[in-house]
Amino acid sequence: MATRRSGPRFGHRIKIGLGAAIVLGAVLMAILAPLLAPHDPYRQDLLARLQPPVWAEQGAWKHPLGTDNYGRDLLSRLIYGSRLSIMVGVSAALLSAVLGSVLGMLAGYKGGWLQQVIMRFADAHLAFPEILLAILIVAAVGGSALNLILVLGVSGWMVYARVMYNLTRAVRERPFIEAAVSHGASDAYILARHVFPQLVPVLTVVCTLQVAQMILQETALSFLGLGLPPPTATWGNMLAEGRDRLWVAPWIANFAGLAIILVVWGINMLGNGLREHLDPKAKERR
Amino acid sequence: MAETLVDIAGLEKHFAVAGGGWFSRRKLAVRAVDGVDLAIRRGETLGLVGESGCGKSTLGRLILRLVRPSAGAIRFGGVDIATLEGAALRAVRRRAQMIFQDPYGSLNPRMRVADLVTEPLRIAGRPPAAGYRAHAESLLQSVGLDAQHAERYAHEFSGGQRQRIGIARALALEPELVVADEPVSALDVSIRAQVINLMQDLQARHRLTYLFISHDLGVVHHIADRVAVMYLGRIVELAPKRALYATPRHPYTQSLLAAIPAATPALRGRRVALGGDPPSPLAPPPGCRFHTRCPHAIERCRREDPPLQAAGEGHSVACLRADEIGPIAIPLIQPGGRAGR
Amino acid sequence: MIRHILSRLLTVPITLLLVALVAFVILRLTGDPVEIYLDINATEEQRQLLTAKLHLDEPVLVQFGLFLGEVLRGDFGESLQFGGPAMPVVLERLGATLQLVAAALTLAVVLGVIGGIVAALRKDRFADFAISGLAVAGQSMPSFWLGILLIQLFALHLKWLPTSGTGGLEHLVLPTVTLATFLLPNFILITRTAVLETINELYVTTARAKGAGEAVVVLRHVLPNAINPVLSFLGLQTGRLMGGSIITEAIFAWPGVGSLMVKSIFQRDVPIVIAAIFVVAVAIVIANLIVDLLQSAVDPRIRLD
Amino acid sequence: MALLEVEGLRTVFPSQEGEVSAVEGASFSLSEGEVLGLVGESGSGKSVTAFSLMRLVQAPGRIAAGSVRFEGRDLLSLDEREMRKLRGRRMSMIFQEPLSSLNPVWTVGQQVMEPMLLHGGVTRREARERALAMLARVGIADAARRFNDYPHQLSGGLRQRVMIALALVCEPKLLIADEPTSALDVTIQAQILELLRDLQRELGMAILMITHDLGVVAEIADRVNVMYAGRIVESAPVETLFRAPAHPYSAGLLQSVPDMGEERERLPTIRGIVPRPGEMPPGCAFAPRCPYADAACTVAPPPVHTLTDDHAAACVRPLGAHG
């Protein structure tokens, strides 16, 4: 029974700080892409095909991370690729957050047939692979940034609906809701003043973590050739292109993979840190 | 006799049991309140006692119309509110307020105390003459809290202080009736007395009517003018306090009083414990609901459902054999009084 | 319990109906089937004949009804690539997918549950930080890149394992590991949380107060109660697992339903795609029913409701 | 010789301000077959005391000082394996919430058999027979049928009976009962208290009855320890405590219980609130609320004043001591 400085008490601060730093860096990179990228990401240079990164034997500072099969500068493509991945990820996560939270809150607060319909639908949808649905729809309507946002946004709603539903039901049972009813408050007032504010922390956490999921899904679609059509610079496209050159130029795939894992990991750290920070149980222990 | 504030007749509330499923043919219902007639007089404190699951909390919520009755009438100040809906219902709710059992859960943790206690006024759209902030401070002072406390959040207070905040909030709308649902059960013994005294002071100052719901017969004895005893959705005995404690007529009331732990060691183990558990309110027994546990039950009790009948001045009891059994005095205190100085 | 299972069974047709609706919408979105089936030189007469044969001249609702009828009969139309009916082609590939999914699921559940328990029991110590940290990193890992990394390391550099295709057990290793990492991190974290929540329950203290040792406490009292949230999660993850198998099969050219589906999408072979969707949906539904049964076997409160 | 002797027990929990004592220097003893009430309000340290005796304090809490001698052995120096042999066999514990203290996935019978099987020496058949007999002994009417029921199928009163059965099935010398009737209705509470009283007499065991309810103490205890803010402030035979409490806190507690014998306009109260852990006043923890406190009370924790052989109070000037 040795005394231990309880680690997690400060752990969440580190996670939030580290995660936020990575996320901030990625966002800045996306915004400042034209200033940061050394080359035009789409300019082909067939004489400089498949050049390795600068630290390899034949590498040169002209292309710090080397070039791809068409001689395009990888660093520039990586920097520009962040724009689409982040924009699609954030927009899709926000779209599904709005859809899912409204439906989940309604189902949880109103109950009855509305709840039955919404939640049965969510369960059925949750059982169906979301990536499969996205594949099918993109295959049918074609990949554009807007289509990707819509498809991923719509196919992610039930995650929020489930969480918000359960939470709303729990909040609904809390005595201060009954207190508000006894003061003569209307449903709209109670939802806005008493229910929604209780949901915000969890919504923030889920939304953060979903951005990471959406980025992964977008890159997965691109990887399968169902994302934005080439030559658009996206991390998923770069991975897919790199896969065919693994023997001769493994760096093409690996830099894209590293970029994805770093950003997604940063977002996950931020989300988990926020969850620990906002967890009421953890708070009581402090 | 004082004016009647609340008049309840034939009140029933049956809750359909969730999870009965689409495939079950019989629909189950908890008969939480199952035929209650009761009048609350203006200015009195009516104690409502019974064990968990007897329906006393549901009855309190029916009177505030926080739940919708399945049948029966609730006349509040002469108007039947049993079937009101929408804005009319919300207006009526403001005339009666509730003090909750759980001082932790009944205060929104994200609101400051000043906003908590004045929220009923905001909802009602009745800004106080002095402004919300000043009014919040005077409400807090009236329940014995500091005006500076208005800026804080509920979790910064102890249980007793939170219950004071809850009381201040209930009084914000100057209600005629206050339903107090186990207001001191969650509090420590030394804090309980403070809150009970406060409730009595406020009653005198604001001429409040209390429906005081509790499982604690000791607390009810101190605060109530009249006492109603509930068992499985029914009121089985109703009497002025002194009569109920000195000459209980219903065998259930007698058993309840007998089951209270001794006030002093000298009285220990003198009484017979009531056997068995209360039956499920899903399927109350036929006849008298208490017959499965009643030491005096006879064949007739299994068949006939006894009505609540007069049994003395202001005293009524629902028992077929009340006259045969007669009042039984339960020794509640040691002769010669108690300790302390 | 029977009632519980029956009410769960009732959601099956709802799920499948929704899937049918999605499939039908996609079918219509992909363009005019007449254009796909006939080549450019077809005559107007041929077009009209096919239009009538495919009931494309009927109202949409009728078309959907006819489509449902075909689905119920297992008739998904003729494959463009393979010539014959679509369903048998898909079913032929099902074995390979099931083999991959079963192997990955076993790996993920075994490692996930063990890892989660160890992390929970060593909470806030090194083992917990290591396991939980790896799990969060694993959640952030795009599995297709993991597949590529594994190929580079084990196939290209070390030359221990083949890069793709089927054959002996050695072909199964990399796809299994890749697919398992879709689930493993979540399993670890969910198990850890479930064990931590259970271990503070009063009945665990009761077990200790009886004189039970740590092994008895964990195996007899904590685990049977902690396993239920893990099972619920497993039910929710079957869809994710099937989705993951599509990507994994694409990376390793694994001849399963997933790679068939992706290939058919590019070939515009709609009957195969629709048939594959239904096979996947039915597999998910069956998996969920099995999870339900397992849950009620573990927890008497579900069994005896 | 005393069955249980506790000396200077101190149990601490970490907090942001450093370690906070939940129990501070508790000393008491319990003879064989004696029922000792441990009374206090929430946060007084009475439950932590109980868990400390079983060495079941949940981490990160820990026992920081003191000794616990049970049947002559110092429990705090035993290794965990030796300690396990005592739990459930020589000393048992029951809790406030009978539903959450029973494992939901095992039948009642399995749970009552478990202590016997854990401690060995019986076959499954013997364990089964003894479990059945014990279930019948705690007043479960159709024990054979209930044996295969799960906890959620029983009422609250039956669950607590099952809990008592599994605690007593190995016939321990000491039962630690942590608020065993507080979650129950008053008529069921009376049944359980009567059952505990009967079993205590029959098995000759000692009971440490932890409760906030003075009525429970009056019903069952031989002696009482009153706890306040982690310390034992008074120790007395039960009749003495109710007749002539010496510590102002005990007296205030007794008076603030509504009395059904007399009608009073107002209830006597103890002013103020219990200090939070970590914000303990330097002197007597009760001084800020005490009607008799003066400067002397705020300097140092008060010494234990022995009034008679069996009556002591931790107070600078105990009530009744000066006439």
Amino acid symbol at C89: V
B94-113 residues touching A, CB cutoff 8 A? 94, 97-98, 100-102, 105-108, 110
Please report, rounded to a whole number, the percentage of residues in chain D having pLDDT higher than 90: 68
| pLDDT at residue number A284 | 36
Distance CA B55, CA B66 (A): 14
- Per residue in C7-59, pLDDT tens? 677 777 877 888 888 778 877 776 666 666 666 677 777 777 777 777 777 77
Measured in angstroms, the CA of C246 and the nearest CA of chain A are apart by 8
Distance from CA of B300 to the nearest CA of D (A): 25
- Quote the CA–CA distance of B63 and B69 in Å, as a whole number: 9
Is the model's pLDDT at D321 over the cut of 80? no
B18 touches chain C (CB under 8 A): no
Encoding tokens for residue A26?
A: 């990625």
pLDDT of residue A283: 42
Tokens encoding B252: 């259930």
Quick one: pLDDT band at residue D279, thresholds 50, 70, 90?
Answer: confident
Distance (Å, whole) CA A166 – CA C126: 34
Treating both helix axes as pointing N-terminal to C-terminal, what angle do B159-171 and B132-142 enclose, rounded to 10 degrees? 120
State the nearest Cα–Cα gap between A181 and chain C, in angstroms: 32
Beta-bridge partners for D4: D30, D70
- The count of residues in chain C is 305
What pLDDT does C51 receive? 75
More confident residue, B142 or C3: B142
What phi and psi values does residue B142 have, to the nearest 5 degrees?
-70, -20
- Average pLDDT on B62-72 reads 94
Hey, CA dihedral for B51, B55, B57, B60, is it positive or negative? negative
How far D60 CA sits from the closest chain A CA (Å)? 7
Least confident among A217-226, B214-223, C74-83, C214-223: C74-83
The residues pairing with D175 across neighbouring beta strands, listed in sequence order, are: D92, D207
Is the CB of A3 less than 8 angstroms away from the CB of D16? no
How much is the pLDDT for C35?
67
**Residue A43: left (phi > 0), alpha (psi -120 to 50), or beta?**
beta
- Identify the CA nearest to D137 among candidates D206, D86, D47, D202: D202
CB burial of residue D148 (10 Å; 0-12, 13-18, 19+): exposed
**A87 in a structural domain:** yes
> Who wins on pLDDT, D48 or A278?
D48
What pLDDT was estimated at residue A285?
34
Report residue C37 as tokens.
């089936």
Q: Cα–Cα distance between B122 and B132 in angstroms, integer?
A: 9
How confident is the model at residue D55, as a pLDDT? 95
In a domain, A54, yes or no: no
Give the residue-averaged pLDDT of C63-74: 83
Q: Which residues of D touch A286 (CB under 8 A)?
A: 16
**Shortest Cα distance from C192 to chain D (angstroms)?**
17
Structure tokens at D283: 């002197």
- Arithmetic mean of pLDDT over chain A: 82
Q: Which residues of A fall within a CB distance of 8 Å from B110?
A: 197-198
Among left, alpha and beta (phi > 0; psi -120 to 50; other), residue D278 is: left
Contact C115, C232 (CB under 8 A): no
By CB atoms closer than 10 A (0-12, 13-18, 19+), residue A39 is middle
Give the model's pLDDT for residue A256: 86
Q: Do A176 and B107 touch (CB under 8 A)?
A: yes
The encoded tokens of residue D295 equal 């400067």
User: What pLDDT, on the 0 to 100 scale, is given for residue C36?
Assistant: 64
Is A253 a domain residue?
Answer: yes
Q: What is the pLDDT of residues C219-278, one digit of tens each?
A: 999 999 999 888 888 887 888 888 888 888 888 888 899 889 888 888 878 888 888 888
Query: HSE (CB half, 13 Å, CA atoms) of A205?
Result: 17
Chain A neighbors of D19, CB-CB under 8 A: 3
D171: enclosing H helix or E strand: none
- B145-174: pLDDT as tens digits: 998 889 999 888 888 999 999 999 999 999
How confident is the model over D98-129, as pLDDT tens digits? 889 999 999 999 999 999 999 988 999 999 99
| Across B115-135, average pLDDT | 91
Question: Within a 10 A sphere around the Cβ of A124, how many other Cβ atoms?
Answer: 20
Q: Which two tokens stand for residue B32?
A: 């939480």
Q: Is residue A185 part of a domain?
A: yes
Contact B206, B174 (CB under 8 A): yes
Q: Which of D71, D70, D66 is nearest to D27 (CA)?
A: D66
Residue among B53, B78, B4, B8 at smallest CA distance from B308:
B8
Q: Which of A40-54, B56-70, B105-119 has the lowest mean pLDDT?
A: A40-54
Radius of gyration of chain B (CA): 21
pLDDT > 90? residue D269: no
**Structural domains of chain A, count:** 1
Contact A210, A159 (CB under 8 A): yes
What was the pLDDT predicted at B23? 45
The model's pLDDT over B91-110, given as tens digits with 9 standing for 90+, comes to 888 899 999 998 888 999 88
The model's pLDDT over C143-177, given as tens digits with 9 standing for 90+, comes to 888 888 888 888 777 777 777 766 677 788 889 99
Ranked by mean pLDDT, the top range of A156-160, B266-270, C170-174 is A156-160
8 Å CB contact between D166 and D118: no
- Confidence class of residue A286 from pLDDT cuts 50, 70 and 90? very low
Most confidently modeled of A245-259, B202-216, D183-197? B202-216
**Banded model confidence at residue D322, pLDDT cuts 50, 70, 90:** very low
**The dihedral sign for the CA sequence B192, B198, B200, B202:** negative
Q: Which DSSP state fits C157?
A: I
Contact B189/D257 with Cβ under 8 angstroms?
Answer: yes
Does this model's pTM top 0.90? My answer is no
* pLDDT at res. C162: 74
Between CA B236 and CA B198 the distance in angstroms is 30
Say if residue B24's pLDDT is above 50: no
* pLDDT band (50, 70, 90) for residue B273: low
Q: What is the DSSP string of B97-163?
A: EEE-S-TTTTS-TTSBHHHHHHHHHHHHT---TT-HHHHHHHHHHHTT--GGGGGSBGGGS-HHHHH
Would you state the structure tokens that stand for residue C93, as one six-digit string? 């590939």
Name the H helices within chain C.
2-29, 33-37, 44-53, 60-72, 86-121, 126-140, 143-150, 169-199, 202-209, 214-216, 223-252, 257-267, 270-298, 300-303
pLDDT band at residue C3 using 50, 70 and 90 as cut-offs: low
A253 has a pLDDT exceeding 60: yes
pLDDT score of B336: 40
- Choose among C124, C265, C284: nearest Cβ to A8: C124
Yes or no, beta carbons of A1 and D14 under 8 Å apart? no
Chain D residue numbers with beta carbons less than 8 Å from the beta carbon of A6 are: 14, 60
Give the per-residue pLDDT at A7: 41
pLDDT mean over C272-290? 86
The answer as to whether A30 is a domain residue is: no
Query: Which pLDDT band, with edges at 50, 70 and 90, does B135 fall under?
Result: very high
Look at residue A142 and tell me if it is in a domain.
Answer: yes
Other C-beta atoms within 10 Å of D2: how many? 16
pLDDT of residue A249: 78
Question: What is the mean pLDDT of the segment spanning D228-239?
Answer: 94
Residues whose CB is less than 8 angstroms from the CB of residue D86 and which lie 6 or more positions away in sequence, other chains included: C211, D70, D75, D78
Give A10's pLDDT tier (boundaries 50, 70, 90). low
Question: DSSP per residue over C249-302, as a string?
Answer: HHHHT--SHHHHHHHHHHHT-HHHHHHHHHHHHHHHHHHHHHHHHHHHHH-HHH
Chain A to chain D Cβ contacts (< 8 Å): 13
Domains and CATH numbers, chain C: 2-72 (no CATH), 94-300 (1.10.3720.10)
B83-106 as b/e: b if 16+ CB within 10 A: ebeeeeebebbbbbbbbbbbbbbb
Query: Could you tell me the two tokens for A212?
Result: 């990471």
Q: What is the pLDDT of residue C217?
A: 93
Segment C205-223 mean pLDDT: 92
Output the pLDDT for position B73.
95
Q: How far apart are the first and last CA of chain D?
A: 34
Alpha-carbon distance D247 to D244, whole Å? 9
Residues B61 and B132: their CA atoms lie apart, in Å, by 28
- Asked if A41 and A62 count as a contact pair (C-beta separation under 8 A), the reply is no
CA distances from B28 to B16, B31, B62, B77, B314 (A): 6, 9, 21, 35, 37
Give the minimum alpha-carbon distance from B108 to chain A in angstroms, rounded to a whole number.
6
In angstroms, the CA B182 to CA B105 distance is 14
Interface contact D57-A1, CB threshold 8 A: yes
Which DSSP state fits D223? E
With CA atoms as reference, report the closest residue to A71 among A54, A46, A52.
A46
DSSP C151: I
Closest-approach residue (CA) in chain D for A3: D60
Contact D319, B341 (CB under 8 A): yes
Query: What residues does D227 pair with on adjacent strands?
Result: D232
D253 part of contact set with chain B, CB < 8 Å: yes
Q: Is the pLDDT of residue C107 over 80?
A: yes
Task: Give the span between the Cα atoms of C304 and B331, in whole angstroms.
Answer: 45
Domains of chain B: 4-42+54-95+215-325 (3.40.50.300)
- Domain limits at A120? 83-265
Contact status of C121 with chain D (Cβ, < 8 Å): no
* pLDDT tens column, A43-82: 777 777 777 776 777 767 777 777 777 778 888 888 888 8
**Is A243 within 8 Å of C242 when comparing Cβ atoms?**
no
Residue type, D10: R
Using DSSP bridges, classify how beta strands D35-39 and D206-211 pair: parallel, antiparallel or unpaired: parallel
Q: Is 50 exceeded by the pLDDT of residue C298?
A: yes
8 Å CB contact of D193 and B261: yes
For chain B, the distance separating the N- and C-terminal CA atoms, rounded to the nearest angstrom, is 39
Helix axes C270-298, C2-29, angle to 10 degrees: 160
Q: How many CB atoms lie within 10 A of CB A244?
A: 12
- A3 pLDDT more than 60: no
How many alpha carbons lie under 13 Å from residue D269 in its C-beta half-sphere?
15
**What CATH number should be reported for the domain holding residue A181?**
1.10.3720.10
> What DSSP character marks residue B326?
-
| Residue A245 is assigned to a structural domain of this protein | yes
Cα separation of A118 and D253, whole Å?
A: 54
